[in-house]
């Protein structure tokens, strides 16, 4: 999974630029399959954690969140997002990997904010 993230670690760590790109991408994601709905919720959580001024995300988690979200935005990653049913499977795997890798940061964030706010952008 790290090899999938590697090219995206070079992308800018500009939270506002990333937020705009993620929000635009989310308008194109049809939440039809369960893994796609989970992906959308997890992308929202990651973006919220990156942009919450009242929360300081550890640097390694921050870098991984940026890379995972840039991967999500890229339409021509391991599996083209235009493939019906399977197009977002690789995005789901990358986002899940990063969230699990930084589970303690996610838990710390969720314990410091109201859960319904964690997914709201």
**pTM: predicted TM-score of the whole model, two decimal places:** 0.86
Confidence of residue 78 (pLDDT cuts 50, 70, 90): low
Contact 8, 70 (CB under 8 A): yes
Instruction: Annotate 31-41 with b (16+ C-beta within 10 A) or e (fewer).
Output: eebebbeebbe
Cα angle vertex 75, ends 96, 12, to 5°? 75
Number of domains in the chain: 1
> Which residues constitute the domain of residue 46?
2-118
Output the average pLDDT for the chain.
87
Q: Are 72 and 65 in contact (CB under 8 A)?
A: no
Question: In this model, does residue 76 exceed pLDDT 90?
Answer: no
């Amino acid at each position: 999974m790290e090899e999938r993230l590697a090219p995206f670690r070079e992308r800018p760590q500009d939270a506002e630029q990333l937020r705009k790109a993620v929000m635009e991408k989310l308008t194109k994601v049809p939440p039809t399959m369960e893994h796609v709905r989970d992906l959308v919720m997890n992308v929202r959580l990651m973006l919220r954690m990156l942009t919450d001024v009242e929360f300081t995300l550890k640097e390694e988690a921050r870098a991984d969140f940026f890379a995972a979200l840039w991967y999500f935005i890229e339409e021509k990653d391991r599996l083209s997002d235009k493939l019906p049913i399977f197009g977002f499977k690789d995005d789901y795997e990358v986002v899940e990997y990063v969230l699990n890798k930084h589970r303690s940061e996610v838990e710390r964030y969720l314990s410091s904010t109201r859960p319904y706010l964690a997914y709201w952008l």
